[in-house]
Amino acid sequence: MVVNAATDRWLDRVERGGRPLYLALAEALESAIREGELQPGDQLPPQRAVAERLGVDFTTITRAYGAARARGLVEGAVGRGTFVRARAADDEAGLVDLSMNLPPPPQGVSLGALMKATARTILERTDPAILMAYHPGAGTLGQKTAGAAWLAPCLGEIAAERVLIGPGAQTALTAILAAVTRPGDAVIVEPLTYPGLRAAAEQRGLRLIPCPVDAEGVVPAALDRLCAAEGPAALYLVPTTQNPTASTMGLERRQTVARIAETRGVWLIEDDPYGRLFDAPPPALCRFAPTRGLYVATVSKCLSPGLRTAFVVTPGGEIGDAVARALRATALMASPLMTAMVGSWIREGQAEALLEGVRREARARRAIAAEILPLAQGAAEGVHVWLDLPPGLDPGRLRLMAQQQGVSVVTADAFAIGPVRREGGLREGVRISLGGPARQAVLSDALRRIAGVLDGARSRQGVGRGMVV
């Protein structure tokens, strides 16, 4: 039996030894699809032909194709064969969006299949009328317990009662600001910070005060002076894989910053969307600020944004009650079906499996970025990188040039508190998100286009390649 040479090259990827052969086959198939060697609609070789080609029994190939189907990689048509499954809403022929921070497609896990199976189980166990009703309060005890377990690698063991459930980090941050500030209050932030925080602060009439930073984040001496001079109500930081600069604060700096917040009586709002992406996450800032720390962690950047679930951890007591009331006033409740799904995944282990799949893909994409843009800064597990621009290279012009090459990126002005300049840690640069494209091949091509734009801009301005970009 002859195998079609156009669609059997993926069989050369199969690595024997170390694990069951059917799993090695499924992983080779996934790799070929992810990298674009196989396209949606391609027909796979018949199972018997693959068995003959590899010299194995038919049952092994059947199990391999079954595993690939369970991962959402292929689909079968009775009487026609097995085909690479089309990705829903996957139109990457136009503008490649590297401006939105998304987790990459997980390796080895079909998110769609997992959602279908979990939703079916939830509906079998729960009355749909209960799921579709109003649910007062910031989560059930079971959901809070699951949240505490999910956050333990970052926060250590915490009481479930300290955890609140919200519909996404933006809602959680808005509620926290409502609970701890009044219009006109000052909030200290990094010079380049999350635009959602800026929007929430503007809506509440808050003054954002940028604190000088270095490679690790806010400079403690400058932070302490600002606390003394401005009397801020809160300090908002993204200390792990900072958005947008991708910097991560070290342990000693975390302890010092937390101590300043505690000593000055400032609420420390820690936004940690990326911590769980690390194999060994750095300890949360809030671990060192037991009475002033307010911690927010969303699953949007490490699992999927569509889950619309965030965990908020407070010191408890009056401040916990105040944040819970603000959450209810802001959004009433999180989606019962989504929070039930997230809680189920955490309790039964699927969340960790999904997270590991995202980590593997994130590492692979970060390695691609390191090869194509060697001066890009960011963690090995990060879903975005940062490129400093040389003096004289206009970021708006760079963004337009990238768009003309079919790539969308975001520059520092989208994150800046005040004019973007190099004084006090403010930087001209571009954030490049790595998770959006469905396939690594699409990402690689887009990054090469960005590299070409930068090389062209440097050449026109006479900037040498030794300059930091």
Strands (E) in 299-361, as ranges, are: 310-313
Asked if 206 and 250 sit in the same domain, the reply is yes
Task: Examine residue 18 and state whether it is found in any structural domain, yes or no.
Answer: yes
What is the residue whose two structure tokens read 């604060």? Answer: 249
- Mark residue 169 as left, alpha or beta (left: phi above 0; alpha: psi -120 to 50; beta: remaining): alpha
By the 10 Å C-beta count (0-12 exposed, 13-18 middle, 19+ buried), 16 is classed as exposed
What pLDDT, on a 0 to 100 scale, did the predictor assign at position 75?
Answer: 84
What pLDDT, on a 0 to 100 scale, did the predictor assign at position 74?
Answer: 86
Provide CB contacts within 8 A for 343, sequence distance 6+: 142, 143, 146, 147
Q: Of 303, 318, 350, which marks where a domain is finished?
A: 350
Domain CATH number, residue 26: 1.10.10.10
Q: Of 332, 350, 368, which marks where a domain is finished?
A: 350
What pLDDT, on a 0 to 100 scale, did the predictor assign at position 94?
Answer: 60
pLDDT tens for the chain, 469 residues: list them.
Answer: 334 555 678 888 888 876 788 888 888 888 788 777 888 888 888 888 999 888 889 898 889 888 888 777 888 766 778 888 875 444 444 678 899 999 999 988 888 889 999 999 999 888 888 888 888 788 899 999 999 999 999 999 999 999 999 999 999 999 999 999 999 999 999 999 999 999 999 999 999 999 999 999 999 999 999 999 999 999 999 999 999 999 999 999 999 999 999 999 999 999 999 999 999 999 999 999 999 999 999 999 999 999 999 999 999 999 999 999 999 999 988 999 999 999 999 999 999 999 999 999 999 999 999 999 999 999 999 999 999 887 777 787 788 888 888 898 999 988 998 755 544 456 789 999 999 998 999 999 999 999 998 887 766 655 443 322 2
Task: Examine residue 107 and state whether it is found in any structural domain, yes or no.
Answer: no
Give me the sign of the Cα torsion angle 12, 13, 19, 22: negative
- CA dist., res. 52 & res. 170, Å (int): 55
Task: Examine residue 102 and state whether it is found in any structural domain, yes or no.
Answer: no
Task: Examine residue 106 and state whether it is found in any structural domain, yes or no.
Answer: no
The count of other CB atoms within 10 Å of the CB of residue 279 is 11
Asked if 74 and 133 sit in the same domain, the reply is no
What pLDDT, on a 0 to 100 scale, did the predictor assign at position 451?
Answer: 93
What pLDDT, on a 0 to 100 scale, did the predictor assign at position 95?
Answer: 75
Give me the sign of the Cα torsion angle 410, 412, 417, 420: negative
Q: Of 329, 350, 371, which marks where a domain is finished?
A: 350
Domain CATH number, residue 195: 3.40.640.10
Residues in the chain: 469
Cis-peptide, bond into residue 244, ω within 30° of zero: yes
- CA dist., res. 456 & res. 312, Å (int): 45
Asked if 226 and 334 sit in the same domain, the reply is yes
Question: How many domains, in total, are found in the chain?
Answer: 3
What pLDDT, on a 0 to 100 scale, did the predictor assign at position 87?
Answer: 59
Residues 108-123: b if buried by 16+ CB within 10 A, e if exposed: bbbbeebbeebeeebe
By the 10 Å C-beta count (0-12 exposed, 13-18 middle, 19+ buried), 46 is classed as middle
Domain CATH number, residue 403: 3.90.1150.10
Asked if 262 and 346 sit in the same domain, the reply is yes
Range of the domain at 159: 112-350
